[in-house]
Amino acid sequence: MSEGLAPWATCETHSRGRRHPEPPPRYRGEYHRDRDRIIHSTAFRRLVYKTQVFVNHEGDLYRTRLTHSLEVAQIARTVAGALGLNTYLTEAICLAHDLGHTPFGHAGQEALNRCMADYGGFEHNLQSLRVVDELEEKYAEFPGLNLMFETREGILKHCSRRNARDLGELGRRFLEGFQPSLEAQLANVADEIAYNNHDVDDGLRAGLLHTEELREAELFREQHDAVRARWPELAGRRLVHEIVRRMIGRVVEDLVEGSRAALEAAAPDSAAAVRHAGAPLIRFTPGIGAAHDALKRFLRARLYRHNRVIRMTTKAQRTVTELFDAFMDEPRLLPEDHAREAERKEAAQGKAGRARAVADYIAGMTDRFAIVEHQRLYDPGAGT
């Protein structure tokens, strides 16, 4: 066991390593190096102009994929420290988990998946893995970022069985029902915590949600009433922030308590034993777990299906679909290097290869670049 790590934590000395061997770093650990490589990647910088719920041009203060990833990492690092997990690995997974997301959030992903239906589909988790394994162009000796196996495994939190069969050891757990590392489990739950609570904040800021209707959700009502009781005159952004920060604190503390209880009951003596636990060991207590799920359902019904969000979602999906159709019909519309890649992939894999190259290009776009590119292709008055 490494100093400071619990026996169930992922330890570098037992890692399955990198795809391309490299000399060890001198002044940092291997997972620390992974985190740093992710932060310096092109795909990570692009996240600042990719959105969560609200499209980038709708306002400067809404969450983007970048701020969301940082918030996920902050939440997960706190829990990892409390449970004796590997904080650098946890942080690396959190920072990389959305690198493959399309422009326009889930709307763009759904549209691109439909476009790719005849060519293997599009999964944003798998695309995040493609980014770090193949698409980043940083190093002379290998493609991608050459991350550690455990980091790559954590990034791939969902994967179809069809795609898992092509991933070798990395896809094995999806075929055989193993659990991922505790650090990967934690990144997954921290993602949900950040989504729930910060979408409440953004929904209130946008005027799509209101405090009185949010009181239908237990997690919000509990903290809203406590804040109101203590500070009856508090209003505006200070009121919202005080409620949301307490909501996050409540579920994070519960996640530590619930996970500790699960770990004590299962008593895994190693990171390898975690994989055979039968169920995730990073979990809420039953009461908070139910309240967390109820808030998710509330947001799905009242925010994500709000008519203003649906209108923007429809526009976003049309934009992605029409970009895909244009580039598939005429690959020479792509930038020169992407056109060459589409030609190379088509020669090797047929039309599916061309489609994958087009999907890679579109998935790498930011919201505003996709909008401008669509205008260039479809508006005769736009510049070329």
- Report whether 18 contacts 147 (CB < 8 A): yes
Q: What is the dihedral of CA 331, 334, 338, 344, to 10 degrees?
A: 10
- Report whether 129 contacts 347 (CB < 8 A): no
Q: What is the dihedral of CA 236, 238, 241, 243, to 10 degrees?
A: -80
> What residue type is assigned to position 365 of the chain?
M
For 194, residues 6+ apart whose C-beta sits below 8 A from its C-beta are 68, 71, 72, 75
Closest listed residue to residue 260, CA positions, set 26, 67, 1, 80: 80
Alpha helices in 104-217 (DSSP H): 105-115, 124-130, 149-155, 161-164, 172-176, 182-206, 211-214
Question: What does pLDDT average to in each consecutive run of 10 residues of the chain (384 residues)?
Answer: 81 94 95 98 94 57 85 97 98 96 91 96 94 95 97 91 89 92 97 94 90 96 97 95 97 98 96 94 98 96 90 92 98 96 96 97 95 92 66
Between helix 307-329 and helix 351-363 the angle, nearest 10°, is 140
> What residue type is assigned to position 333 of the chain?
L
Q: How high is the pLDDT of residue 57?
A: 47
- Report whether 235 contacts 243 (CB < 8 A): no
* Residue 237 to residue 240: CA distance in whole angstroms: 5
In the numeric block, which tokens belong to residue 91?
């942080």
The CA-based angle 181-133-156, given to 5 degrees, is 35
Q: How high is the pLDDT of residue 379?
A: 84
- Report whether 191 contacts 94 (CB < 8 A): yes
Query: Measuring CA to CA, how many Å separate 162 from each of 115, 121, 132, 138?
Result: 18, 10, 21, 30
* Residue 382 to residue 384: CA distance in whole angstroms: 7
Question: Could you tell me the domains of the chain?
Answer: 21-307 (1.10.3210.10), 309-378 (no CATH)
- Report whether 155 contacts 96 (CB < 8 A): yes
* Residue 204 to residue 197: CA distance in whole angstroms: 11
For 138, residues 6+ apart whose C-beta sits below 8 A from its C-beta are 37, 40, 41, 145
Closest listed residue to residue 288, CA positions, set 207, 193, 373, 384: 193
* Residue 26 to residue 254: CA distance in whole angstroms: 38
pTM of the entire structure?
Answer: 0.94
CB-CB neighbours of 132 under 10 Å: 25
Name residue, tokens 């422009």. 103
For 181, residues 6+ apart whose C-beta sits below 8 A from its C-beta are 10, 89, 150, 153, 154, 271, 274, 275
